């Protein structure tokens, strides 16, 4: 039984489009939509390409999209992590990058999570060269490793992501069946777990210009990129500000980004003392 699906859902309060997105999220574990501001996405991608070119000692690319897709012609797998670190540090140093990231996904976040949010302090970057097995993420759920079940991941591609050049996700109904017999996998490797779920996985098709929001309580991960071009994606966690936290704490890992005035008032309120009716 999927408890989330059994909670009361009073009708007529959420807008029909929010209801539709919510149903999709509950049933499929993810939603995909065009970014809210395509020009801002281009600016973020272009800034990223400039930082990457600088790190590699190259002139800024005339076609940043092709440059990113073809980065495997400029960098060996051994040098990939240094490139990844240079680019993500450079992006996180841009004072506007997280604001743009949030704005791109804001309609999805407000429909799925709420309008009073905490956001991960640092954006993460994943680069996967064709055929490279050095930076893979085996099957996992973030909630197994210190994330609160209230967190969602906003996953943003800078190139078209499809087939093995994307991530996989196990949908909720299939996930429940596997989780019910999780003890069977005790002591086995993640390869066994992957083999058990492989046929049920969704390989999310997220073209450049769209953004994915997924439920990190579900099993997900990636495999070797067997397509001919390089994957570039960022990910960042969000949660409702006042929902429970786990290992990733408010103030350390998460920062409040859209605190509303009534919450400010509530948090600073002290009952006046000394007056007894």
Site residues (vs Fe ion, CB under 5 A): 142
At 270, is the secondary structure helix, strand, or coil? Answer: coil
Under rule CB under 6 A, residue 83 binds ligand AKG: no
- Partner that binds at residue 233, options Fe ion, ligand AKG, none, CB closer than 5 to 8 Å by kind: ligand AKG
Question: What's the min distance (Å) between Cβ of 145 and ligand AKG?
Answer: 10
Which residues 94-153 are close enough to bind ligand AKG by CB under 6 A? 126, 137, 142, 153
Under rule CB under 6 A, residue 197 binds ligand AKG: no
Residue 152 bridge partners (DSSP):
215, 238
Question: What's the min distance (Å) between Cβ of 124 and ligand AKG?
Answer: 7
Under rule CB under 6 A, residue 220 binds ligand AKG: yes
- Residue 177 DSSP class: H
Under rule CB under 6 A, residue 230 binds ligand AKG: no
Under rule CB under 6 A, residue 217 binds ligand AKG: no
123 touches 236 (CB < 8 A): yes
Q: Residue 49's closest CA among 134, 172, 188, 159?
A: 159
Q: Residue 229's closest CA among 167, 166, 139?
A: 166
- C-alpha–C-alpha distance, residues 114 and 240, integer Å: 6
Closer to ligand AKG by Cβ: residue 90 or 221: 221
Under rule CB under 6 A, residue 235 binds ligand AKG: yes
Task: Spell out the residues 6+ positions from residue 241 whose beta carbon is closer than 8 angstroms to its own.
Answer: 116, 117, 118, 250, 256, 258, 259, 263
64 touches 208 (CB < 8 A): no
Q: Which stretches of the chain bind ligand AKG, using CB under 6 A? A: 126, 137, 142, 153, 155, 167, 216, 220-222, 233, 235
């Amino acid at each position: 039984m999927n408890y989330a699906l059994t909670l009361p859902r009073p009708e007529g309060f959420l807008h029909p489009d929010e209801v539709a997105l919510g149903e999709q999220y509950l049933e499929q574990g993810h939603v995909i939509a065009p970014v809210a501001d395509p020009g801002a996405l281009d600016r973020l991608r272009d800034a990223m390409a400039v930082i990457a070119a600088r790190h590699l000692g190259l002139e800024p690319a005339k076609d940043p999209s092709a440059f990113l897709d073809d980065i495997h012609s400029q960098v060996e797998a051994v040098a990939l992590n240094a490139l990844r670190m240079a680019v993500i540090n450079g992006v996180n140093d841009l004072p506007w990058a997280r604001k743009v990231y949030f704005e791109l996904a804001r309609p999805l976040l407000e429909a799925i999570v709420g309008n009073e949010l905490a956001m991960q302090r640092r954006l993460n970057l994943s680069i996967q060269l064709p055929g490279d097995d050095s930076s893979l993420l085996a099957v996992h759920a973030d909630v197994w490793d210190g994330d609160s079940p209230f967190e969602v991941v906003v996953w943003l591609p800078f190139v078209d992501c499809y087939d093995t050049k994307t991530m996989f996700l196990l949908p909720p109904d299939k996930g429940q069946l596997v989780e019910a017999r999780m003890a069977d996998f005790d002591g086995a490797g993640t390869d066994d777990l992957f083999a058990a779920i492989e046929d049920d996985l969704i390989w999310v098709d997220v073209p450049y210009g769209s953004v994915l929001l997924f439920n990190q309580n579900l099993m997900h991960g990636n495999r070797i990129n067997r397509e001919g071009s390089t994957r570039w994606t960022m990910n960042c966690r969000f949660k409702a500000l006042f929902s429970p936290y786990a290992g990733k704490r408010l103030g350390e890992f998460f920062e409040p980004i859209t605190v509303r005035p009534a919450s400010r008032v509530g948090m600073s309120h002290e009952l006046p003392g000394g007056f007894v009716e």
